Structure 1
Amino acid sequence: MRLIRLLKRLWYPAEFLFGRIGLSRGTPPEGPPVIDPYLGYATPDELILRGRVLSALRRFAPEPEQSRWVNFLQMLALFLTDEVAHVVVKADGERTVTDSEGYFTLRLPRNGNETGWHGVTAQVSGQPASAATVEALVPPPGPGIAVISDIDDTVMETGAYSLVRNLWTSLTGNALTRHVFPDAVELLTRLAEGGGPVFYVSSSPWNLHHFLTRVLERHGAPRGPLFLRDFGLTSRRFLNRKRGDHKSLAIDAILAAHPDRRFVLVGDTGQHDPHVYLEAAQRHPGRIAGVILREPGRGPDRRDRRDMAALREMGLRVESGRDYREILGGADWI
């Protein structure tokens, strides 16, 4: 694709340029490394804490009326990170080492039967100033319905079905201007009634974790762990992993962590979620309770319709439409 090839050629020169003016790699950190905490989750035996160690955190307080150019610069800065690799991160007696891009995963044994959000203080070994609270969600025990939801064009309008439109929307908006679908918030809230956890799976990079959680929180969407994408940008590798591969791996991890629950999969037809969800239902017989799909842009193509039909042939209930309003009318759709 020509646009991808162009971006690949421009990314490293741009990153070098921003680094020379102090916005990216090559700028010596002025203080100790810091932890960028991600929302984690739990298995029956462990708390899974996730995050990234960086030389500095970039947090912006956007204004509703600020220009698209300012939005663009602020969004671009989120991607130009200076990661701290191969350092020890510890919490509650457990420790791990960050990978080459600064990511870490800490596995802590669960104590007791507490449920809800659990915060644990993590820090870079030998750097007490780096301490940060990393949270993990422990859902209530017992069987029940849980939700895995896409974000792009499912909960938040991005135009992900068009690369050009997606880049324009994503890079020229801010946390106050991004549009979240009210019907999606209502749908997820109803599905989460009774304590069922909600997990978000997106093709967006981990650099946007704080940004996305702010947008979702501002619009009242259920709070839940995010499973985002490691772009792994290098001079030899640029966006090589397919979106569907990332979503499939995330779905597998979530289902494995909650073996007693069945899941509702919420998505859209703009990025061929029906195919990803069909494969998930085939890999995990009996674990998928139903599928709900938004139809953005031109709606489902032939492949999407074929996959939706295959889901129905498996006995799953599949609901789809331009929005979720009709689906909200039937609480017993599962």
Structure 2
Amino acid sequence: MNFKLLLARIAARIERWTDVLRRPSKAEPSITPYVGYATPQHLIVRGRVLATRQERLMRPDQSRFANFRAMIGLFRTDEMADVIVSAGEVMTRTDEEGYFTLELPRGDATGRTIVTVTLGKKSWQCPVIIPDTAASYGIISDIDDTMILTGAYSLARNIWTSLTGNAATRLVFPDAVRLMARLNTVVSPVFFVSSSPWNFYPFLREIMSKSQLPEAPMFLRDYGISETQFITGTHGDHKGQAIDTILAANPNLPFVLIGDTGQHDAHVYADAVKRHPGRIARVILRQAGPRQDAHAISALRAAGIPVHVAPSYDDMDF
């Protein structure tokens, strides 16, 4: 057996035993709904089952230490594996980290719809965004240093910003909000792809909601331990796979890719152009950090993709 796989299995079992031992005897499972999306045939309903709900704090005057405690609390999840969840007659079981996906018949609806997901005797409302039939393109956007100031190009700055801020203090770029309005996100479907962990999902949703960024499906990264995973894949692998999933779910739409130059988004997008010729309409990049991704940007332009690069999205003419 592969040593890394063996290590993952041992670590996963230790984590499960630890979760059971520290779980309160009267703990009840609770669903954290994620915004779902649609394929031509199905509604993809997503969420995670935890033993307790995550507490979210949102006070601008909160101390950095209080913010730090709250953010660390997001990682103290007590995920519940092998739990049955259902929507109508469709049911599934949660995986080792508590995640679930339900595939329901799509029907004729468009826009935002709500799917009731049942767990035991309780139910939760899970939103699903279905593209408007008038949409002529879709949008895939990074989050860190694209929509929200993070400093992700510097590991130390990224960790400091992520763990000592809260939803009331984190800065959403005003030009990012204006860019989304220019791209007519009322009609065009939006997807957010980030290497931030799924534990940050409630935190990110709160930031975006108060900043008038569109409600949209997110594709975040699982940093948990499972029977098949001990160390996650690379930043580029995660984003590339998410882009592949989104394009497959929307086979008739070209896409605008939005990112920044701080975390090699141009390289990820150039690889996506190679895998999906004719599907990428343009690339929009914020200049962030010391990297400029000149080689990848040149490769995109050589492939005939319009690329817009500037410190502010307001400076881009397209």
- TM-score after normalising by structure 1: 0.86
Q: Is the 8 A contact 2:135 2:189 kept in 1?
A: no
Aligned to 1:86, the other structure's residue is in SS state coil
Per-residue Cα deviation, 1:127-174 (whole angstroms, up to 9, x for no partner): 213x11111100112561110000000000111101111000000000
Give me the whole-angstrom Cα distance separating, in 1, the residues matched to 2:64 and 2:222. 26
1:91 equivalent to 2:87? Answer: yes
Question: Within 5 Å, which residues of 2 pair with 1:258-273?
Answer: 258-273=250-265
Aligned to 2:118, the other structure's residue is in SS state strand
Q: Is the 8 A contact 1:206 1:229 kept in 2?
A: yes
Give me the whole-angstrom Cα distance separating, in 2, the residues matched to 1:85 and 1:233. 12
Per-residue deviation, 1:25: 7.2
Q: Structure 1 residues 316, 120: closer, same or farther in 2, change over 3 A?
A: same
Per-residue Cα deviation, 1:36-70 (whole angstroms, up to 9, x for no partner): 10000000110000000100012223211110000
Aligned partner of 2:313 among 315, 319, 324:
324
Q: Which residue of 2 aligns with 1:3?
A: none
Question: Within 5 Å, which residues of 2 pair with 1:61-210?
Answer: 61-111=57-107, 113-124=108-119, 127-129=120-122, 131-141=123-133, 144-193=136-185, 195-210=187-202
Per-residue deviation, 1:120: 0.8
Aligned partner of 1:224 among 210, 213, 216:
216
Per-residue deviation, 1:298: 1.7
Structure 2 gap ranges (5+): 1-10
Per-residue deviation, 1:210: 1.1
Give me the whole-angstrom Cα distance separating, in 1, the residues matched to 2:254 and 2:21. 43
Q: Is the 8 A contact 2:56 2:202 kept in 1?
A: no
Q: Which residue of 1 aligns with 2:5?
A: none
Per-residue deviation, 1:27: 2.7
Q: Structure 1 residues 44, 236: closer, same or farther in 2, change over 3 A?
A: closer
Greater RCO, CA 8 A, separation 6+: 2
Give me the whole-angstrom Cα distance separating, in 2, the residues matched to 1:25 and 1:56. 15
Tell me how large the CA RMSD over aligned residues is. 2.1
Give me the whole-angstrom Cα distance separating, in 2, the residues matched to 1:324 and 1:29. 52
1:212 equivalent to 2:204? Answer: yes
Give me the whole-angstrom Cα distance separating, in 2, the residues matched to 1:70 and 1:192. 38
Give me the whole-angstrom Cα distance separating, in 1, the residues matched to 2:291 and 2:212. 27
- Deviation >4 Å, runs of 4+: 234-239
Q: Structure 1 residues 162, 230: closer, same or farther in 2, change over 3 A?
A: same
Q: Which residue of 1 aligns with 2:233?
A: 241
Give me the whole-angstrom Cα distance separating, in 2, the residues matched to 1:172 and 1:143. 39
Amino acid corresponding to residue 188 of structure 1 in structure 2: M
Per-residue deviation, 1:239: 4.6
Q: Structure 1 residues 105, 147: closer, same or farther in 2, change over 3 A?
A: same
Per-residue deviation, 1:204: 0.5
The range that moved more, 164-173 or 134-143, is 134-143
Per-residue deviation, 1:322: 1.2
Equivalenced residue count is 304
Per-residue deviation, 1:28: 2.0
Give me the whole-angstrom Cα distance separating, in 2, the residues matched to 1:239 and 1:218. 34
Per-residue deviation, 1:223: 1.5
Amino acid corresponding to residue 286 of structure 2 in structure 1: R
Give me the whole-angstrom Cα distance separating, in 1, the residues matched to 2:260 and 2:140. 12
Per-residue Cα deviation, 1:3-54 (whole angstroms, up to 9, x for no partner): xxxxxxxxx9xxx9xx89xxx9723253421111000000011000000010
Q: Is the 8 A contact 1:142 1:260 kept in 2?
A: no
Aligned to 1:53, the other structure's residue is in SS state strand
Aligned to 2:203, the other structure's residue is in SS state helix
Give me the whole-angstrom Cα distance separating, in 1, the residues matched to 2:21 and 2:243. 33
Question: Within 5 Å, which residues of 2 pair with 1:228-307?
Answer: 228-233=220-225, 239-300=231-292, 304-307=293-296
Identity %: 49
Q: Structure 1 residues 151, 81: closer, same or farther in 2, change over 3 A?
A: same
Question: Within 5 Å, which residues of 2 pair with 1:304-319?
Answer: 304-319=293-308
